Amino acid sequence: MATHLLHTISELGPGNTAWYALARALRLLGLQLWRYHFVAQRVAPAAMRSAPGKIVISSVASLAELPPDYPRPREVVAARLRQGGCSIAAWKGRELAATLWYQFGAYEEDEVRARYFLPAPDSCWDYDVFVQPHMRLGMTFCRIWDEAHRRMRARGVQWTCSRISAFNPGSLRAHRRIGTVHLGSATFIALGRWQLMFAGRRPFIHLSAGPGSRPQLVFDTRALEPGGHPCQPT
């Protein structure tokens, strides 16, 4: 048990390990806990080092374009498309190799009840990057991330923001490697229709009694520019 604990600490860090232990304890009481870190990354100014190879990238504009084994529920994908989500897919022959989503203006989270708002027109929200397990050691991720940055640059985007689970060591490592700016953290606890949020930014604490009530967290990337004001709008 001590070995497992030390491994978890080395993977997540002491703080995230404590939250992970609390999440497991609360689960025994019927509560669910999610903890997220929010980060921003500069959009690459030019193409990355990935080569085309056998991977083909295309847009996903409707449910009809998705294969039967698409790794997300159809109702989740439909909700993302309704709110303006953009998706690209990487294909190796007829096999779906990877997917990535991004969105402008605001994004309504589909794991917890929360809305992320980006007031700066040169920023976007990227989320749900998925690569088939047997392709994660190749260039698939580089290819789809390169294409996403190319499309973002074409829209004048300078910053892309995202949230990562504090309990996902692979994602934590990946974001550390690519060089991100930490924007804060938030914790969500749910029991039935009730959801309680604690965050390091406004509104700081929010209690939701159902789907019609969700906190809005503002991420203004203009504060990341030289001379940018650190205060975010309300």
Q: Model confidence over 171-181: pLDDT tens digits? A: 777 777 777 99
Is the bond preceding 203 in cis, omega lying within 30 degrees of 0?
A: yes
Helical axes 169-178 vs 2-12, angle rounded to 10°: 30
Question: Global pTM?
Answer: 0.89
Q: How confident is the model at residue 233 (pLDDT cuts 50, 70, 90)?
A: very low
SS3 label, residue 18? helix
Structure confidence at residue 142 (pLDDT): 87
Chain segment 83-108, per-residue pLDDT in tens? 999 999 999 988 999 999 999 999 99
Structure confidence at residue 11 (pLDDT): 75
**CA-CA distance, 103 to 126, in Å (whole number)?**
6
Q: How confident is the model at residue 44 (pLDDT cuts 50, 70, 90)?
A: confident
Q: Is the pLDDT of residue 218 over 60?
A: yes
Helix (H) / strand (E) element for 154: namely: helix 140-154
Structure confidence at residue 225 (pLDDT): 83
Q: Is the pLDDT of residue 230 over 50?
A: no
Task: Report which DSSP code applies to 166.
Answer: T
Average pLDDT estimate for 43-70: 79
Q: Beta partners for 190?
A: 32, 195
**CA-CA distance, 49 to 199, in Å (whole number)?**
37
State how beta strands 216-218 and 115-117 pair: parallel
Average pLDDT estimate for 11-32: 92
Sign of CA dihedral 132, 15, 216, 114: positive
Chain segment 77-89, per-residue pLDDT in tens? 999 999 999 999 9
Chain segment 113-156, per-residue pLDDT in tens? 999 999 999 999 999 999 998 988 888 988 999 999 999 999 99
Sign of CA dihedral 17, 18, 20, 24: positive
Question: Who's near 149: CB < 8 A, 6+ residues apart?
Answer: 43, 44, 48, 160
Query: What is the number of residues in the chain?
Result: 234
Task: Report which DSSP code applies to 44.
Answer: P
Taking the domains of the chain in order of start, what are their residue ranges? 31-224
CATH fold of 31-224 reads: Aminopeptidase (3.40.630)
* Single-letter residue type at 166: A
Taking each continuous run of H as one helix and of E as one strand, the counts in the chain are 5, 12
CB atoms < 10 A from the CB of 224, how many? 18
Structure confidence at residue 7 (pLDDT): 62
